[in-house]
Amino acid sequence: MKLGVFTFSLYSHLYRRSISHLSSSFSSVSQSYPNVFLSQFFSLVKTLTQNPRNFRALSQLDSLLSHTLSFDSVTSVSVIEGLCRLKKLNRAKSLLLHLKDNLKVSPYFAFSLMFDCLVKDGKVDDVEVQWDEISNGCGMNLSDYVIHVCKFGELDEIKDVYERVLMGCRVLRRQSYVALIGVLCRYNEGSIAKSMLHEMYCRGFKIDVITYIVIFQCLCRNGDLDSADYVLRKMVKDGFDVDVCIYGSFMYGLCKLAKFREANKLFNKLMNRDCFSGSKAELLKEGRRVIFQLNYEGVIPEMMVYEIYFRSLCAVGKLDDAEVLLMKMMKKNTVAQVCVYGSFIKALFRAGREEDALKFFRVECKKGLVCSDELARYVFEQQCRKGAVDNAMEIFNGFSRKGMFSNSVVHCNCLLDSLWGDGRIMEAERHFEQMKNGELAPPNSATYRLMACGYCNWGNIRKGVDIYEEMLSKSIPIDGCIYEAVVTSLCKQGWVAEAYKHLDSMTRNGTTVSYRVWKRMFHSLSSDREQIFD
């Protein structure tokens, strides 16, 4: 990445000023900081990148860096970035130590600087070695950081960790590999999760049944049935029992690939109970899907077989076939689970057949075979996603009076999200107040995120900041989405000084903000501006 990412041109007019003042006390510089200090520093880095032997620039850089103990967190991180570009890693590491110990930034943020800045081109083992030199026994290591990224990181951060791990790593614990596989599968990155599974296997780690099932289900969702079959064969060879969820996942994969003939064959196989007895690993044949060679040790209820096939057809929009199957199910004495009816409602909404979905809902409620309250949840959620806010609110209010939705923060947040999406700010505020005063389910961190980001997205930055500060005062967890919304929105309004203040506070207080997220926020301070502060 070129040094221009720091937008040096924005500071060029300041650099034309004489920097003979560098020998004076740092206080005079810090008063005009960062519109003098950072412009001087970035310009020096640019000069030294072009000519590392420019002794005048090196002397000026030394003078600037003589005041590192006076730097705030934003300055420190910015200078670390610049020093890394100049390959002055010992100085960068010293400043990182100051950032961690004196400014008390989160160890995870400090580690992300080490991972993505100081040792960004090295192996992860090198990151661990460098971290050990400055950690002072802070109690976290590379494995802890990997698990942290899996919990809070963005997909590009997770993929970067994955790629670095595949370069070779001796120090990761088993839990880190499991966490990487789990989060990659959550993002439906089945192919690279499979590579991580292979890496884990090669390093001699025991692979538990949950890890196998998670990656198997992900591969089925992706329609990668060859890889899913490979994983299933490994499961059988390792002696794991195969339960009904394996059949359901593979059934979905077949339907997704429009292999309806095979899907129907699997359905009939399960209905006829014709799995051959005792499917041991040594009896598995090559060239034939493992799923058709298995024997489920338990007895799969007939209704469950209907359900997994029906829900797979609904998921891929095969509504006519699903409806025929539903009619057959309804002729059975056993009533299907409410999720079966919900799957059909969701499929109808996805196909744009809202009226049919509502008609189906009303008919089934009138029959009384399933709980109308539970079925209403599916209609409500789909109307929220479709932007039919009034219809969703009508259902919400009706069932809230019965005490149904009032205790579900998930559904309260679903309606709140729809109100913001439709620009109905006053109603969103009223809904939020009802949650806070106990009329509805109490708000959680996701509720506050919706409010903070909603205000910022609709231009009411001041209220967005108020929500953010309320979260701080109540110790409500704040994620990178809120941080970024607040800082970028303030910058768009031209309130760059306040944005800078919040970025400094976030850097010191945030526990879920990585260096990459920080860098995006920092760039918003100077993007398309001639200077940072007026």
Quick one: angle between helices 244-256 and 260-272, nearest 10? 160
Asked whether residue 331 is domain-assigned, the answer is: no
Q: What is the pLDDT of residues 419-459, one digit of tens each?
A: 999 999 999 999 999 999 988 899 999 999 999 999 999 99
Asked whether residue 261 is domain-assigned, the answer is: no
Q: Output the pLDDT for position 260.
A: 96
Q: Output the pLDDT for position 13.
A: 35
CB count in 10 Å sphere of residue 234? 18
Asked whether residue 435 is domain-assigned, the answer is: no
What residue has token string 């100081």?
A: 118
Q: What is the pLDDT of residues 254-305, one digit of tens each?
A: 999 999 999 999 999 888 865 544 455 557 788 889 898 877 555 678 888 8
Q: What is the pLDDT of residues 141-191, one digit of tens each?
A: 899 999 999 999 999 999 999 999 988 888 789 999 999 999 999 999 999
Which of 59, 81, 105 corresponds to the end of one domain?
105
Range of the domain at 487: 444-534
| CATH label of the domain that carries residue 508 | 1.25.40
Average pLDDT over residues 59-78: 88
Cα–Cα distance, 361 to 382 (Å, whole number): 12
Q: If we measure between CA atoms, which residue out of 109, 205, 198 comes closest to residue 162? A: 198
Q: What's 122's DSSP letter?
A: S
Q: If we measure between CA atoms, which residue out of 534, 529, 523 comes closest to residue 77? A: 523
**Least confident segment among 60-69, 148-157, 249-258, 366-375:** 366-375
Q: Output the pLDDT for position 226.
A: 94
**Average confidence score pLDDT of the chain:** 84
SS3 state of residue 327? helix
Q: Output the pLDDT for position 35.
A: 57
Asked whether residue 202 is domain-assigned, the answer is: no
Q: What are 239's two structure tokens?
A: 């002696």
> Strand (E) positions, 226-301?
none
Which of left, alpha, beta for 125 (phi over 0: left; psi -120 to 50: alpha)? alpha
User: Is the per-residue pLDDT at 506 higher than 50?
Assistant: yes
Asked whether residue 533 is domain-assigned, the answer is: yes
Please check whether residue 271 is in contact with residue 307, taking contact to mean a CB–CB distance below 8 angstroms.
no
Helix and strand numbers, DSSP H then E, in the chain = 29, 0
CB count in 10 Å sphere of residue 513? 25
Which of 48, 79, 105 corresponds to the end of one domain?
105
User: Is the per-residue pLDDT at 5 higher than 80?
Assistant: no
Which of 46, 72, 105 corresponds to the end of one domain?
105
CA angle 220, 224, 229 (to 5 degrees): 75
Asked whether residue 24 is domain-assigned, the answer is: yes
Confidence of residue 136 (pLDDT cuts 50, 70, 90): confident
Asked whether residue 8 is domain-assigned, the answer is: yes
Average pLDDT over residues 479-501: 89
Cα–Cα distance, 374 to 341 (Å, whole number): 10
φ, ψ for residue 263, nearest 5 deg: -60, -45
Asked whether residue 31 is domain-assigned, the answer is: yes
Q: If we measure between CA atoms, which residue out of 303, 336, 340 comes closest to residue 322? A: 340
| Total count of domains within the chain | 2
Residues in the chain: 534
Q: Output the pLDDT for position 427.
A: 96
In sequence order, which residues have a C-beta less than 8 Å from that of residue 452 and are 6 or more positions away?
464, 467, 468, 471, 482, 485, 486
Cα–Cα distance, 9 to 423 (Å, whole number): 38
